Amino acid sequence: MQQTEAIASSPTQHLPLSQRAPFRAVQRALFYLMMVALALIFAGPLLWMLSTSLKTDPQVYTVPPIWIPNPIRLVNYPEALSSRPFEIYTYNTLRYALGAVAGALISNTLVAYGFARIRWPGRDIFFIICLSTMMIPFQVRMIPLYLTFKNLGWLNTYLPLIVPTFLGVNAYYTFLLRQFFLTIPSELSDAARVDGCTELGILIRIILPLAKPALAVIGLIQFMFAWDNYIGPLIYLNSEALYPIALGLQQFRTMFQEELMWPYMMAASTAATAPVIILYFFVQRTFVEGISITGLKG
Amino acid sequence: MSQQWTPAQTRSLLKGLAFISPWLVGFAGFVLYPIAASAYYSLTRYDVLRPARFIGLENYVELFVKDETFRTVLGNTVYLVVVGVPAGLVAAFLLASLLNRKMKLRPLFRTIFFLPVLVPAVASAEVWRWVYNTNYGVINSVIKSWGWAVIPFISSMELAKPSLILIHVWAQGTAIVIFLAALQDVPSSLMDAAEVDGANALQRFWHVTVPICTPAILFVMLTGMIGMFQYFTLGWLLTQGGPNESTEFFSLYLYRNAFQFFKMGYASAQAWILFIIILAFTLLIFRSSARWVYYAGESD
């Protein structure tokens, strides 16, 4: 009785309901409950993919669904991946993705330097034109590009997917790098200029070493884009020997048909997804920082 | 006002142009020329085998007057943008706000909400085809075990578009990261002041947090809108435009016309209509943004 009185007269009594201790504890518990539920929903499809990829056939077709396969059938992976030349798809993807990464890094470094570190008449107008190209849908350029590449004899090669990256066509990367270059104090370049350093020398010796994080972000985004890109390879490549994973996965699908071989299909999908996720874990911090530099102060 | 043109300026101009020269070449060859060419092709009949034949505005007339599929396609695409973009944006903002609170295991939660955006579109299509499967997909399997009627997600005309939008809402990692960065800029002094003034959590969220994040919201809305008008891969792989044209979106129909029916002129006209629609929406959002976007640094 006395205790109740003590609590009743305690100072918390005067606080609004939402700030009293028991209420807050309940609130926190509900909050965590909601977070866990949301996390399970968001991770659900990926867990379902992984789970199915390790199942034996009868376990795939059960109602209600089984989440933890028993037995775990690891052999689904080699069986699925060897039914099509998955290693060639991977090699093709890497070949074209790395080419595109090199192109994006080299061209956008030069272009962004021209937009950020040299003052020249007309610069701002050119930069605005460059930025406004982000609004142009790919579909408007798609048909003439296809016809041009066809006339050049570039169809069924990786050139249509790589050459444009060497010409700084992606304004998003230019913008990102320019923003980063602007944050580097101009005194550094001025001092080098006084010492007789050329602009290219300043770019290579002073700016590039400082810009490594931004370059990493662009390289990574370009790599992931190339890994993910479907419509580009779909239009430009028609021989299976050149297919990247994006097109290769469809080959698996036509092979495994609907309904019949879900564990194989999910094994192939997991194999296509895993490298990107593993890469993400290695460079997570850089990646998240990079996305946040671009979207802000706009 | 007019400045003296000095040799130093000429030198700096040449230097600047030299550095941006890759882009100048790329812009001329891979942006400007294709745009001009597609404008020309849109006025022609062109099947690649025979030379393009000028037919004036006939393609446009056919699209707007005769082509009933095109009307459906327009409706489908506008639905996707008008429902899908806000749905993704609201989901991303709410998730980011939740992640912005102090909590245990925050990096883990952040990673889980971010992961879906990393899944390649082709893999994502297969995973969701399986998740949405009417007989043994994870959702319908549970529903069946309760003895309820299954949900025909992507195989029904009514649910196909919402099902695709749900996948879009699932993969909001990029927007979440952008919003998280913006939320960190919300000054705690402002939140405290609002609390002292008796604003409850919901009021603080709506009147302090949201306004401060409006520049980021504008950015996500614009890029989301431009991207959504070009929606292709998931629709192409998962529903192929069906059932009964209910997911035939702009880019799918355009691709079909160009690369399956080889109607390059007709497809170019569609591309230009898409371009103009995107420009109009961009302008609309920019115009309206003066009224709802708040810039903290704005004093003049």
Q: What is the pLDDT of residues B94-119, one digit of tens each?
A: 999 999 888 888 889 988 999 999 99
**Per-residue confidence (pLDDT) for residue A6, from 0 to 100:** 43
**Per-residue confidence (pLDDT) for residue A5, from 0 to 100:** 43
Q: Report which of residues A62 and B272 the model is more confident about.
A: B272
Two structure tokens written together for B239: 């529903």
Q: pLDDT per residue over A101-139, tens digit each?
A: 999 999 999 999 999 888 889 899 999 999 889 889 999
Mean pLDDT of all residues belonging to chain A: 85
Q: pLDDT per residue over B127-183, tens digit each?
A: 999 999 888 888 998 888 888 888 999 989 999 999 999 999 999 988 998 898 888
Q: Is CATH 1.20.1290.10 correct for A79-294?
A: no
- In whole angstroms, how far apart are CA A264 and each of A89, A267, B175? 17, 5, 32
Chain B residue numbers with beta carbons less than 8 Å from the beta carbon of A262 are 130, 136
Interchain CB contact of B280 with A (< 8 Å)? no
Q: Indicate the domain borders of chain A.
A: 2-78, 79-294
Residue B299 has pLDDT above 50, yes or no: no
Chain B residue numbers with beta carbons less than 8 Å from the beta carbon of A46 are 115-116, 119, 127
Q: pLDDT per residue over A29-39, tens digit each?
A: 999 999 999 99
B291: closest CA of chain A, how far (Å): 16
Residue A187 has pLDDT above 90, yes or no: no
What average pLDDT does this structure show over B12-41? 93
Within the 156-195 window of chain A, which residues sit less than 8 Å (CB to CB) from chain B? 164, 166-169, 174
Chain B residue numbers with beta carbons less than 8 Å from the beta carbon of A224 are 118
Interchain CB contact of B50 with A (< 8 Å)? no
In this structure, of A266-270, B70-74, B296-300, the range with the lowest mean pLDDT score is B296-300
Residue A175 has pLDDT above 70, yes or no: yes
Q: Is CATH 1.10.3720.10 correct for B67-292?
A: yes
CA-based nearest residue to B91, from B178, B192, B170: B170
Mean pLDDT of all residues belonging to chain B: 90
Cβ within 8 Å, pair B103-A120: no
From the candidates B13, B14, B23, which should be mutated to test the interface with A, based on the most A CB atoms within 10 A?
Answer: B23
From the candidates A76, A120, A231, A261, which should be mutated to test the interface with B, based on the most B CB atoms within 10 A?
Answer: A120
Residue B109 has what DSSP assignment?
A: H
Interchain CB contact of B181 with A (< 8 Å)? yes
Alpha carbon distance A16, B207 (integer Å): 21
Alpha carbon distance B85, B92 (integer Å): 11
Interchain CB contact of B279 with A (< 8 Å)? yes
Judge whether B22 and A111 are in contact, CB under 8 Å.
yes
Chain B residue numbers with beta carbons less than 8 Å from the beta carbon of A291 are 174, 177-178, 181
**Per-residue confidence (pLDDT) for residue B291, from 0 to 100:** 85
What average pLDDT does this structure show over B203-208? 87
CA angle B164–B142–A270, rounded 5-degree value:
55
Interchain CB contact of A277 with B (< 8 Å)? yes
B182: closest CA of chain A, how far (Å): 7
Residue in B16, B29, B130 nearest the CB of A114: B16
Beta-carbon contacts of residue A261 (< 8 Å; ≥ 6 apart): A80
Q: pLDDT per residue over A219-278, tens digit each?
A: 888 998 999 999 999 999 999 899 999 999 988 888 876 556 889 999 999 999 999 899
Residue B284 has pLDDT above 90, yes or no: yes
Cβ within 8 Å, pair B123-A249: yes
Residue B293 has pLDDT above 90, yes or no: no
Q: Indicate the domain borders of chain B.
A: 67-292
What percent of chain B stands above pLDDT 70? 97
| pTM of the model as a whole | 0.88
**Per-residue confidence (pLDDT) for residue A17, from 0 to 100:** 61
Phi, psi for A257 (deg, rounded to 5): 60, 175
Residue A43 has pLDDT above 80, yes or no: yes
Cβ within 8 Å, pair B111-A137: no
Which ipTM score applies to this complex? 0.86
The 10 Å Cβ neighbour count of residue A254 is 8
Band (pLDDT 50/70/90 cuts) for residue A292 is low
**Per-residue confidence (pLDDT) for residue A155, from 0 to 100:** 94
**Per-residue confidence (pLDDT) for residue B69, from 0 to 100:** 93
Interchain CB contact of A129 with B (< 8 Å)? yes
Cβ within 8 Å, pair A130-B13: no
Interchain CB contact of B183 with A (< 8 Å)? no
Alpha carbon distance A2, B65 (integer Å): 85
Phi, psi for A212 (deg, rounded to 5): -50, -45
Q: pLDDT per residue over A199-234, tens digit each?
A: 888 998 888 888 887 888 888 889 989 999 999 999
Interchain CB contact of B192 with A (< 8 Å)? no
**Per-residue confidence (pLDDT) for residue B78, from 0 to 100:** 96
**Per-residue confidence (pLDDT) for residue A294, from 0 to 100:** 55
